[in-house]
Amino acid sequence: MNTISTEQKYICKKCPSNNCDDCGPWEDTNSETFKRIKQIHKDHPGWQQGDLESDSFDSAIDYVSKSVTDAEKIANKKNIQREKEIGSPIKQIEHYLNSIVKDDKKLVKKLLRVSLSAYTRDPLNLGIMAPTSEGKTYATVQVTNLFPKDDVIFVGRMSPTALIHQKGILVDKNGVQVDYRIRKIDEEIKNNPVKKGELKKEKDEILKGAKNLVDLTGKILVFVEPPDIKLWDIIKPILSHDKNELEFRTTQSDGSLIVKETIIRGFPAVIFCSAKNEKKDRIWDEIETRFDISSPNTSVEKYKQANRFTALKMGTPSLAKGMISNVEDEKFARYHIRRIKDSMIKLTKNNKNPVWNSFNGIIGEIFPSNDGISMRNLQRLMSYANVESLINSDRNPKIQFKSGDEYEQIVVTTIDDIDSVVDIIGDVSEIPPDKINFFNDVFVPALKETVDEWVTTDVLSEKYMQVYHKDTTPKKILETYVKPLDEDYGILESKINPDNKKQYLYRVSIKPNVNSYSYIPEAIIEESKNHPSFVKEGIEELEEFSNEELEFDSVLDKEGGPLSKDKLQEIITEREIQSKVFEKTEE
């Protein structure tokens, strides 16, 4: 390989897209590849001409090869082999995460989709609720640790105005960033005291009407503890995606009475973890409206696997990291997340929802409509389907529209996307999953073992320890499970124990209303057989009602080649055999 001069090389020091590691060098060949890389890195603080001090970084997927072309060839070659062995990029990410988050595949899938949704124009929000020590925070941290550090904001106990005071960038009244101009003036004042008055006047003029801008676009906001109720009130419009910009006026946190104006821009994906019964809070109904509520797996097998993994991690020296997890799997997981991020941002740049789910009419018709909550559940299913389609955009067919010399592509949802979403959502109820699990695994079996069909919390705590092999107390059972199921959801009823006036007895009042959507994919396939031209008719309808500036151009297969409208229906309703085989081997 020919030697590349330093003047032709570019590097990115402490690159936020590379987990804050140095990356490069790249040769400025004016190629499309270099242009794409420059577009990604040019706004990073460490983007500069030059070479790395060390060439010890030899991983192609960390972009540290001597030639970006060679690096991509190596990465692509490895990736083709990995796709054959493991599966699609999203399955490769899950494969790595399932090696470090034991026996919690559905939670991993959901956390991954919610986190990736940050790169869309309509991010998802997730609440993870379970008693302490069930792995909700651990799973959240492991998943989000794969994402670029600058994209994830971890929050502990945040005060109501902490988000407003968070460090952002200074912008003038026109929204133009002025941080650099202010720093430059400050330097000039130091170097040229004679012009201090003139420069200070210029600085004051810039600062007049300046505001602090906190941009949450493309961010993952993680509350490791539930936010203060006052903070909930502040961020509700952000969670609802009501307004893209919110303005707040607060006094400076330094104790002065100077008013600080802050703009919070954009919609982050928000995740919160909670061990308490949020149902008691006055805003629970609003939380449920804005968040998908989930819980970690609480099986005995999970605890066993997790304990083995903990023992391995704590008993293995750090120099033997490969014994704990596959280093190549981790690097490819980070690589695929960066690639999916770039793809999602590109697809959603000019289009809030660049996804066509041709199954929407079928789903809307067959989805349960027996209560009001079904509307919220359908909205969540469709949101997850959009995110899943964007994640798999490099494998899905697309519809291309044309406006002058510009092209715009719409990703088409496939039956594999629907299969994945139905699996991720699972059975749906207004009752948190951990309490449903307790009802099915502990309460009902304990009740069957009694003579008079009433049970005490003493009996339930013994049954809980028998089922989950985990210590608990009657008081914990009462506060965590029985009271919410009795007082909040009406699933249980209670009475005073006639033999012990200080004790209550409990039994089932009504069965929990749980909806399963597992029938939806098969119903779609059946309807496709009965109506073999619904996709073609749908495309013609899109053509009719699309933006006047856009005209239908073509249907493309996953390789970018032409595809007939009739063939499209066959492709999107045909399951990918390889992915199904892989899922079975993972179980």
Residue 214: its H or E element: strand 211-215
Whole-prediction pTM: 0.77
Cα separation, 398 vs 412, in Å, equals 5
Cβ count within 10 A of residue 320: 8
Sign of CA dihedral 302, 304, 307, 308: negative
Beta strands in 276-380 (DSSP E): 292-294, 355-356
- Using DSSP, state whether 374 is helix, strand or coil: helix
HEC secondary structure over 24-65? EEEECCCCHHHHHHHHHHCCCCCEEECCCCCCCCCCHHHCCC
301 CB contacts (<8 Å, ≥6 apart)? 103
Token pair, residue 529, equals: 């057989």
Token pair, residue 419, equals: 């299969």
Maximum C-alpha span of the chain: 95
Domains (range + CATH), the chain:
6-77 (no CATH), 102-297 (3.40.50), 350-428+516-586 (no CATH), 433-508 (1.10.10)
Best CA proximity match to 287, nearest among 347, 220, 240: 240
191 CB contacts (<8 Å, ≥6 apart)? none
Q: Which residue has the tokens 């810039």?
A: 206
Cα separation, 540 vs 519, in Å, equals 28
Best CA proximity match to 23, nearest among 34, 14, 32, 33: 14
Query: For residue 61, what pLDDT is reported?
Result: 44
Query: For residue 242, what pLDDT is reported?
Result: 77
Contact 468, 298 (CB under 8 A): yes
Burial class (CB in 10 A: 0-12, 13-18, 19+), 423: middle
Question: Around 474, how many Cα atoms within 13 Å sit in the side-chain half-sphere?
Answer: 9
Query: For residue 71, what pLDDT is reported?
Result: 55
215 CB contacts (<8 Å, ≥6 apart)? 168, 169, 265, 266
Reported residue count of the chain is 587
Contact 78, 84 (CB under 8 A): no
DSSP string, 389-441: HHHTTTTS-EEEEEETTEEEEEEEP-HHHHHHHHHHH-SB-SS-HHHHHHIII
Q: Give, for all 587 residues of the chain, the pLDDT tens digit.
A: 344 444 577 788 766 655 556 777 777 766 766 776 777 677 677 788 877 654 433 444 444 334 445 556 666 777 788 888 898 999 999 999 999 999 899 999 999 999 999 999 999 999 998 888 888 899 999 999 999 999 998 887 666 666 666 667 888 877 788 877 888 888 888 888 888 888 888 888 887 778 888 889 999 999 888 777 777 877 888 888 878 888 877 666 555 545 678 888 889 999 998 877 666 666 777 787 888 988 888 777 888 888 888 888 888 887 667 777 788 899 999 999 999 999 999 999 877 889 999 999 999 998 887 777 788 889 999 999 999 999 999 999 999 988 778 888 999 999 999 999 999 988 777 787 788 889 999 999 999 998 888 999 999 999 999 998 888 999 999 998 999 899 888 889 999 999 898 899 999 988 777 778 889 999 999 988 899 889 999 988 888 887 777 788 899 998 888 998 889 999 999 987 434 433 443 44
Token pair, residue 198, equals: 């003139």
Query: For residue 6, what pLDDT is reported?
Result: 45
Best CA proximity match to 421, nearest among 518, 290, 486: 518
Counts of helices then strands in the chain (DSSP H, E): 24, 19
